[in-house]
Amino acid sequence: MGLLYVFPVSKEEKDFVIHEDETLTLKTYGLPYIFWIYALCSIAVVVFMFLAIKDPVLKLISLGDETDKTLGYSLLSFVGLLPVLVLSFFFYEKRIMKKNQTLKITHRIFWVKIFSETFSLESPDKLSITPFLSSPNMARIHQTDENLGFQNKGYYVLWLETSDGNKIQIDRHSRKTDLEKLKDLIIHH
Confidence of residue 3 (pLDDT cuts 50, 70, 90): low
For residue 48, the SS3 value is helix
Q: What does pLDDT average to over the chain?
A: 85
Mean pLDDT on 165-188 = 86
Distance between CA atoms of 144 and 96, rounded to whole angstroms? 41
Distance between CA atoms of 172 and 167, rounded to whole angstroms? 14
Residue 152: the pLDDT is 64
Distance between CA atoms of 84 and 150, rounded to whole angstroms? 35
Do 177 and 158 form a contact (C-beta atoms < 8 A)? no
pLDDT tens profile 128-170: 888 876 666 666 677 777 766 666 667 888 898 888 888 988 8
pLDDT tens profile 104-130: 999 999 999 999 999 888 787 788 888
Do 126 and 186 form a contact (C-beta atoms < 8 A)? no
Where do the DSSP E strands lie in 29-180? Answer: 92-99, 102-109, 112-120, 127-132, 155-161, 167-173
Do 15 and 93 form a contact (C-beta atoms < 8 A)? no
